[in-house]
């Protein structure tokens, strides 16, 4: 596995770049907006293709690089299902997997620092965001924080991982880079408490000032979504109501861009064809399945995904590839469901 721990000295943030092999797909965790050029340079130097950008939670101390990375690489943005951000491409729940070629992360819902905090683990390491820090833990006194929930996340989830699991935190302010679960269990002062009540009391007495960037970072990070209005302005969007009237027409092909796990969990729009977002480029070029639908079959392509981000990017890519009949379901399956659109569940297994 290719693994890089990158540091933003201004906010004390660690960003992690993971990939399965040189020349393969890459995933980034907790990117900082001011460092986006550096990430893209490194990704280019390592001959990687960024396909997913993940934030462990809604950050209060720096502006996330998720939106900028999405706009520059058309990667998929990922956060927890209860995050208050306007739009990300994909939302995960506890136990979901965030996968790219050669990398498989398990999402652990660990609220406490915020109500949308997730940790992500592989076989030998865990990216703990601001839930568990080296010899510390993320503050719980900002909006969405809950010390009692964090106690449960720490003692009920993270400390149950094997002792040798490497701990890669979201921040460090003293130059520490990595620890282990066993080391933190024994030496982290926040983890020496005897009860949840004692932890709540400890966290309640920290008397911390607000992060310097908080007034800027939180509103900015809640607006990371792709501006789907621009796609609509160009006439490339269909509302859920409009999409309903297009379903079943012989001149329209409905294309689901989501991953298999999302389709299994949330259902699919009846009659849709599955073309996962990462395979879009090969599908829209000459000889690809979507190219033959559109160019050869004269059909209209109607893309959809979870929230309309991937489909908006797909429309742009299809239009650039010369498929002028492409449009997308604005707001994705979430808008479709809200409008009462029909869904069918996939057979399990």
State in angstroms the smallest separation of the CB of 13 from Fe ion. 9
Cβ atoms of 17 and 6 within 8 Å: the answer is yes
User: If binding is defined by CB under 5 A, does position 55 make contact with Fe ion?
Assistant: no
Distance of CA 35 to the CA centre of its chain: 18
Q: Which stretch binds Fe ion (CB under 5 A): 127-135, 212-220, 277-285, 289-297?
A: 127-135
DSSP state of 47: T
Using CB under 5 A as the binding rule, whether residue 259 contacts Fe ion is answered as no
The nearest distance, CB 142 to Fe ion, in angstroms, is 8
Instruction: Point out which span in 128-136, 210-218, 291-299, 312-320 binds Fe ion (CB under 5 A).
Output: 128-136
* Residue with the CB atom nearest Fe ion in the bound state: 130
Q: Which stretch binds Fe ion (CB under 5 A): 6-14, 35-43, 129-137, 309-317?
A: 129-137
Closest CB 242 distance from Fe ion, rounded Å:
40
Residue found under tokens 């893309």: 303
- The C-alpha atoms of residue 140 and residue 115 are separated, in whole angstroms, by 10
d(CA 61, CA 9): 12
For tokens 């999405």, the residue is: 70
Minimum distance between the CB of residue 97 and Fe ion, rounded to whole angstroms? 23
* C-beta of 117 vs 188, nearer to Fe ion: 117
Please state, in angstroms and rounded to a whole number, the distance separating the CA atoms of residues 237 and 187: 55
Given the complex with Fe ion, which of 8 and 130 has the nearer CB atom? 130
Can you tell me the distance from the alpha carbon of 61 to that of 130, in angstroms, rounded to the nearest whole number? 11
The answer to whether 133 touches 168, Cβ cutoff 8 Å, is no
Q: Tell me: does residue 130 bind Fe ion (CB under 5 A).
A: yes
Nearer to Fe ion, 139 or 291 (CB): 139
Burial class (CB in 10 A: 0-12, 13-18, 19+), 267: middle
- Give the nearer residue to Fe ion in terms of CB position, either 171 or 328: 171
C-alpha span between 27 and 18 (Å, rounded):
5
Helix axes 36-45, 66-73, angle to 10 degrees: 50
Site string for Fe ion, 86-125 (x = CB under 5 A): ----------------------------------------
Please say which residue, 199 or 293, places its beta carbon nearer to Fe ion: 199
Q: Where on the chain is the footprint of Fe ion (CB under 5 A)?
A: 130
């Amino acid at each position: 596995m290719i693994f890089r721990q990158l540091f933003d000295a201004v906010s004390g943030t660690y960003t992690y770049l993971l990939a399965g092999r040189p020349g393969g797909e890459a995933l980034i965790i907790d990117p900082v907006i001011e460092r986006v050029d550096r990430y893209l340079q490194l990704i280019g130097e390592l001959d990687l293709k960024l396909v997913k950008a993940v934030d462990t939670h809604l950050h209060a101390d720096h502006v996330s690089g998720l939106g900028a990375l999405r706009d520059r690489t058309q990667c998929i943005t990922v956060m927890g299902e209860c995050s208050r951000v306007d739009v990300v491409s994909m939302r995960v729940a506890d136990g979901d997997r965030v996968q790219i070629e050669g990398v498989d992360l398990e999402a652990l819902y660990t609220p406490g620092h915020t109500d949308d905090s997730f940790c992500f683990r592989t076989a030998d390491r865990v990216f703990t965001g601001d839930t568990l820090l080296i010899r510390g833990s993320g503050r719980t006194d900002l909006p969405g924080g809950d010390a009692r929930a964090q106690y449960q996340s720490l003692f009920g989830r993270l400390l149950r991982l094997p002792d040798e699991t490497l701990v890669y935190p979201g921040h460090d302010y003293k130059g520490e880079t990595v620890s282990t679960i066993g080391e933190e269990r024994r030496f982290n002062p926040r983890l020496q408490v005897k009860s949840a009540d004692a932890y709540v009391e400890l966290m309640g007495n920290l008397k911390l000032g607000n992060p310097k960037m908080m007034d800027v970072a939180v509103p900015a990070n809640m607006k990371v979504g792709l501006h789907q209005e621009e796609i609509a302005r160009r006439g490339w969007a269909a509302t859920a109501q409009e999409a309903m009237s297009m379903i079943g027409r012989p001149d329209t092909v409905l294309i689901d861009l989501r991953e298999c796990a999302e389709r299994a969990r949330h259902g699919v729009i009846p009659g849709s064809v599955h073309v996962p977002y990462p395979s879009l480029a090969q599908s829209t070029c000459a000889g690809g399945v979507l190219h033959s639908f559109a160019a050869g079959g004269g059909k209209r392509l109607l893309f959809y995904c979870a929230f309309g981000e991937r489909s908006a990017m797909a429309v742009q890519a299809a239009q650039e590839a010369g498929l002028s009949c492409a449009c997308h379901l604005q707001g994705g399956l979430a808008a479709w469901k809200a409008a009462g659109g029909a869904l069918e569940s996939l057979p399990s297994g």
